[in-house]
Amino acid sequence: MCGIAGFLLHDLGHVSSVSTIRPDSPYALNARENQAIQMIASIRHRGPDGQGLLIDPPLYLGHCRLAILDPTPDGHQPMCDRKERYWISYNGEVYNFPELKRELIQLGATFHTRTDTEVLLHAFLFWGRDMLARLDGMFALAIWDRHQRSLWLARDGVGIKPLFYAAYHDRFLFGSEIKAILAAGVSSEPDHEALGTFLSFGYVAAPSTGFSGIRQLPPGHEMTVKPGERDPQPTRWFRMPYPNAPTTWSRWESADRLHSAFSESVNRQLRSDVPIGAFLSGGLDSSSVVACMARLNPSPIHTYSIAMSDKDFDESEPARAVANIAHTIHHAPQIDASHFEDLVRAVYHAEDPIADNSMLPFWKLCETTSRNVKVALSGDGADELLGGYSTYRATHLARWYRRIPMWMRQHLIRRMVDGLPASDRKYGTSMLARRFVNAADQPWPRDHASWRLMLDDGYNRSLCCDGNALALERSLTQYTATLDDAPPWLGVMGRMLHMDLTFHLPNDMLVKVDRMSMAHSLEVRVPFLGKEVIETCLSIPDRWKDPRNGVKRPLKDAMRWQLPQSILRRKKTGFLIPISNWLRTSWREDLRACLTKSFCERTRVLRWEGVERVLREHASGETDHAYPLFTLLVLALWWERWFDGASGPGTHWKVDMESVSPQIQIRRLSSPLSSVAGEGTSEASR
């Protein structure tokens, strides 16, 4: 796991030769080299084990390394092929690299390292861009062709690893984080249309970011950039691997196929030259990961969970029970309302605003885990593949709810729901009921998308300035538009899973996992998103994934011999914090310090009258406004960090160049490569 960053100039005439430090320094750098190093320095937390920079004008290609495979200097990046035509900077892990390596050796490739990076490089030489379909892993990569003078960028199909870019008149910038692009000295304003999506769902959706002019390469897309081409467009290389028609697998065939694919995925993702641990909440997904790890790994593994003083939110006891069964070395640090400063740090590292309140405990979880291991396995992805959310039941129930006469829904049921008392419980009745009646009036499939809303239509009208009503409509349309790419034979259950797998998972869950973990130089692997597991889950008939027949029935059946009934029957609880209580008590003053009349007037996003009302009602316990208020709090913290700071965007990472330059291995190529005889097939020179 690493970080990549760099830029491609469109006009070499703009390259400055003015030194940015003392002329007599052995590390004198011109302005462009200085910017490239600033970009690398801004994401050094993603790869503290080594940094490299290739200077081959018009390209400046950087890398930060978190050494997992072959941690020797042989794995340094950017890495080149034998003839120095192709250079790669790569973030991620390819889990099937030993199998690919054996195949490439049979084709005549010669290897000098034990890294998956070199396997990627040879795969590109022999198979060109078609290599992407062969990869089982998570990745964002950049490959520079010195002969064609072209830069190729690609991102994994599910969107586990990020890749951002910004196209300007004079240059094209890219990086694993938005920080890298801003560190190049560019300025940016908030993207108000993208913020409309954030206010709707609590996250920004690809290809947008919260920063105007900065985009993200969508999951499963690639892009080629050449000097002078100022408006490169992404193209899609990946689609979810559904079968051509519905399968007729039985319940037990589905379970056996899933067990086989999942076990192989865990086994592949245990490949590492450094210690590996696992996150363990005590729920079905993480317990399944740990059970497979314990079976495949003879040495005791370290497992990690979060403890909370509020027992309704605490998962430490079931996690410890699983740890005892699997004989792991278990760690469970406690988090409480005193960790507000950690929330501020988490919002900063998230870069885009994310109102997922599990971000804070996940931040603490990664902080603790990184003290013992460099790699941790996680259970993310199972809910979206196998139907783990309560929203799937809600969608089925909504079809019956809509049969109730409108007048009864509007004037009787809604009034009853509005009169329910506020609750500080994890899933308070008032919060769930209000969310249901507000969304259930929507037709399919907008009802399913509406379960995810942080600010529904009522909140939107009272809290947001004019124009955000259109943003809510755009957001719902964007969510449901993912069905355009779903196979026509999918049923309602399969379509719900498809929407969440292609919209909610990559824009929320995987963003949180990547940013919080990499902020602590920790690699997180997700076995449920292994290539064969996804293919298997998409082939399992809908009826076995329908929660009305048992939540995540195929996984429970698959793990029936490895997990006790107490875990298989345990109700899903969610990885949340007691924000309703904290926003009313310990965080009350911080909340009011962030959400002020001045902030509303200055940003022109929120209406102060509405904000003041929900602040007052929540503080008094009259109504539970926890999720909308947390969304607004994150917006305020994000805005303050990126747009109200005294230094402004692009100046947060100014570093002492004389202290940084010696740490970065710089490779300068003095002249263009005019002609190279390619290795392998002609695919590599496309």
The answer to whether residue 157 is domain-embedded is yes
Which class for 39: exposed (0-12), middle (13-18), buried (19 or more C-beta within 10 A)? buried
Domain annotation covers residue 205: no
pLDDT at 133: 97
Q: How far is CA 243 from CA 35, 89, 159, 236, 355, in A?
A: 47, 34, 21, 19, 35
Q: Comparing C-alpha atoms, which of 90, 55, 227, 212 is closest to residue 148?
A: 227
392 within some domain: no
Q: What is the pLDDT of residue 656?
A: 53
Q: What is the pTM for the complete model shown? A: 0.93
Say if CB 431 and CB 423 are below 8 A apart. yes
Answer whether residue 430 is part of any domain: no
Peptide bond into 443 cis (omega under 30): no
Task: Verify that 124 and 222 share a domain, yes or no.
Answer: yes
Residue 678 lies in a domain: no
Token pair recorded at residue 411: 């004037």
Q: Do 267 and 341 belong together in one domain?
A: yes
Domain assignment present for residue 585? The answer is yes
What is the full DSSP assignment across 544-571? HH-GGG-TTHHHHHHTTTTS-HHHHTPP
Residue numbers in the chain where pLDDT is lower than 50 = 14-26, 646-653, 657-658, 675-686
Indicate if 264 and 288 belong to the same structural domain: yes
Structure tokens of 297? 């790994």
pLDDT the model gives residue 320: 92
Examine the domain organization and report whether 549 and 653 are in the same domain.
Answer: no
Q: Do both 143 and 65 map to the same domain?
A: yes
Which CATH number do you get for residue 106? 3.60.20.10
- Same domain for 75 and 222, yes or no, is yes
Query: Any idea what the CATH number is for the domain that residue 259 is in?
Result: 3.40.50.620
Structural domain span for residue 562: 251-387+493-568
What is residue 187's predicted lDDT score, i.e. its pLDDT? Answer: 86
Number of domains in the chain: 3
Rg (CA), the chain: 25
Query: Quick one: tokens of 434?
Result: 């209000």
Per-residue pLDDT at 468: 65
Tell me, what's the pLDDT at 309?
81
The pLDDT tens digits for 163-202 are 999 999 999 999 999 999 999 998 889 999 999 999 999 9
Asked if 233 and 354 sit in the same domain, the reply is: no
- The verdict on 142 and 271 lying in the same domain is no
* Residue 438 located in a structural domain: no
Last residue of a domain, one of 568, 603, 627: 568
State residue 504's pLDDT score.
Answer: 98
517 with 586, same domain: the answer is no
CB 69 within 8 A of CB 115: yes
Residues 279 and 220 in one domain: no
* Claim to verify: residue 167 and residue 277 sit in the same structural domain: no
Same domain, 266 and 144: no
Q: Which of 92, 104, 78, 97 is nearest to 46 (CA)?
A: 92
Residue 484 domain flag: no
